[in-house]
Amino acid sequence: MSVDAARRARYLEALGIDLWVPRVAPARSPAVANVAPSAPPDAVAAPARLADPTGPGLVEGLHALAEGAAADLPVAADWEGLRAQVRACTRCGLHRGRTQAVFASGDPAARWMVVGEAPGADEDRLGEPFVGRAGQLLNAMLAAIGLPRPTVFVANMLKCRPPQNRDPRPEELAACRPYLERQLELLRPTLLLVVGRIAAQNLLGTEAPLGRLRGRVHAVGGLNLPAIVTYHPAYLLRSPSDKRKAWEDLKLARRVFGELASGKPP
Ligand code: URA
């Protein structure tokens, strides 16, 4: 653990904060050392599909093999390289249906980072995260705690849109994970705001329901980055009665950020 991470861990301990230990340990690159993917990439499904060399499964199986091999490639070490790598990524099958990969938005020196689930149709078209209706609500949520959207770094667990906005698959999350890990390393935000069950469970390596993940500060990855979990804005659009609870989460996030930024224990 680096001096920085150790200091942060001591600070988080003083705050009574959980340190989450990932369920599985394997690391594909230095960037994924502490937050493990929940499943290996695509290639594992290939042998069954390859069994009939005359059927359509052959091509699919070869794609899966190629994608699995790509998942072992190292991840670029700087913003420019990482952005280019994400743009050209073929680590999982989602690249075939995308208009473009959605890297992130916001200030690369931001102290706040929002982590969402995956691009939707608007994001796929425009190449930016959270630009649709959910994005408008996210902007309002951030503004409510005094954060203009451009001052916040916003990224998703997945960089490519799942078809019909279905839930991300474990192998897609695993394939994309090194990109998010590198984004965390390069940004080193003071606080992460994790929106929605899928992002929260995957980032924290837990199956606990969202309700149990709210209301406290988690520490993510080898850097022990502090993280607060709240509802996904798309969920809040469907269930506006939970906006009150989201507001509680946002106030907690603002308070914790203030404490972390000031360097004073609460
Ligand atoms: N939902 C997300 O989780 N991310 C986006 O970028 C858009 C909608």
133 is written with which tokens? 């209706």
Mean pLDDT of 101-112: 97
Mean pLDDT of 140-145: 98
Ligand 1 binding pocket includes 128 (Cβ within 6 Å): no
Ligand 1 binding pocket includes 156 (Cβ within 6 Å): yes
pLDDT band at 250 (very low <50, low <70, confident <90, very high): very high
> 226 C-alpha vs ligand 1 centroid, how far in Å?
21
How wide is the angle at C-alpha 136 spanned by C-alphas 178 and 123, nearest 5°? 45
140 is written with which tokens? 């309002």
**Based on the number of CB atoms within 10 Å of its own CB, is 57 exposed (0-12), middle (13-18) or buried (19 or more)?**
middle
Ligand 1 binding pocket includes 174 (Cβ within 6 Å): no
pLDDT number for residue 236: 98
Q: What's the predicted TM-score (pTM) here?
A: 0.77
pLDDT number for residue 74: 92
pLDDT number for residue 263: 85
Give the number of the atom of ligand 1 that is nearest the alpha carbon of residue 157: 3
Ligand 1 binding pocket includes 162 (Cβ within 6 Å): no
**pLDDT for 81-104, tens place per residue?**
999 999 999 999 999 999 999 999
Mean pLDDT of 147-170: 97
CATH superfamily of 3-17+50-261: Uracil-DNA glycosylase-like domain (3.40.470.10)
Contact 224, 12 (CB under 8 A): yes
Who wins on pLDDT, 148 or 67? 148
- Looking at every residue in the chain, the average pLDDT score rounds to 81
> 149 C-alpha vs ligand 1 centroid, how far in Å?
14
pLDDT number for residue 5: 56
**pLDDT for 172-230, tens place per residue?**
999 999 999 999 999 999 999 999 999 999 999 999 999 999 999 999 988 999 999 99
Q: Give whole-number Cα distances, 261 to 8, 44, 111, 219, in Å.
A: 12, 44, 9, 16
| Percentage with pLDDT > 90 across the chain | 70
Domain ranges of the chain: 3-17+50-261
